[in-house]
Structure 1
Amino acid sequence: MIVERVLYNIKDIDLEKLEVDFVDIEWYEVQKKILRKLSSNGIEVGIRNSNGEALKEGDVLWQEGNKVLVVRIPYCDCIVLKPQNMYEMGKTCYEMGNRHAPLFIDGDELMTPYDEPLMQALIKCGLSPYKKSCKLTTPLGGNLHGYSHSHSH
């Protein structure tokens, strides 16, 4: 099956009457233009995302009658911080940004994919990060993929 657009999001409808099949899209894949996946029911799915918008949790990619194919973003290990004040918020954002780490937000928690050196660096800075399994669905800022470069200071 090849899908080329998002039809709607399941948050807008009642799922009780639908037969739902999920396709897991990792947080770092949501902006890819072409994906090849296997749904939870074993259907091979080709996704051509030509409009450039990131896929979101609950996006319906296909529907035929009462059957739908829905995007699901799986849980992954994350570093989580709950800044207690503006200083901690600033320090967290500075340290994450300095390492080009993708940053996500959920309520009062800031999250990034788990990375042991980053975890240790945040602890060393006096912050209180902890490890938790999360769905990274709400990016804060534009850099989902992260990258690195060297500085010559």
Structure 2
Amino acid sequence: MIIEQVVGNVALLEKRAPHVERVYLQSDDLVKRIQRVVTDHGNELGIRLRDNRDLIDGDVLYMDEHNMIVISVKQDDLLVIMPTTIPQMGEIAHQLGNRHLPAQFEQSEMLVQYDYLVEELLQQLSIPYKRENRKVKQAFRHIGHRHD
């Protein structure tokens, strides 16, 4: 089966099929428009999205009255950064920006993929953080940039 478009997202669906198969993806794979995957029931699928969009956790790839196939994102090894002041937030945002590291935000927390150098930086700057395995809803998008 070739999937060319996302049907919807389980968070927004009013009616769901009784049987659910899941495709478990790393967050990095959410940005791939073309890929071959296997469901947790062993069914092989091709994904070739027509729309230029990233997959997100809970996206429904297929649904009929009996079955649905849903994207589930695997947990990432993250640094959860919890600055306590605006200067701390500004300093770590500046440092991460200089390294071109993508970040996500949930409430008052900044999430970045684990990097031992960032962990050392947080310790040096005395910025509160914790290392945690956590599921993110969308991919960490790396943005290309050149310094001219």
TM-score band, normalised by shorter chain: 0.7 to 0.9
The count of residues paired between Structure 1 and Structure 2 equals: 148
Select between 74-83 and 119-128 the one with higher mean Cα deviation.
119-128
Give 5+ residue unaligned stretches, structure 2: none
- 1:63 paired residue number: 63
Offset of 1:148 from its aligned partner?
8.5
In the superposition, the TM-score normalised over structure 1's length comes to 0.84
The separation in 1 between residues aligned to 2:131 and 2:144, in whole angstroms, is 22
1:1-150 paired onto structure 2 within 5 Å: 1-13=1-13, 18-138=18-138, 144-145=141-142
Change (3 A) 1:88 1:138: farther
Question: Which amino acid is 1:95 matched to?
Answer: Q
The separation in 2 between residues aligned to 1:3 and 1:52, in whole angstroms, is 14
The separation in 2 between residues aligned to 1:90 and 1:15, in whole angstroms, is 44
Change (3 A) 1:33 1:17: closer
Question: Which amino acid is 1:120 matched to?
Answer: E
Q: Deviations over 1:114-134 (max 9, x none)?
A: 111221122222322220111
Change (3 A) 1:147 1:124: farther
Q: Deviations over 1:66-94 (max 9, x none)?
A: 20000111111101111222112212211
CA RMSD of aligned residues (A): 2.4
Identity %: 26
Give 5+ residue unaligned stretches, structure 1: none
Identify the structure with bigger relative contact order (alpha carbons < 8 Å, sequence gap 6+).
2
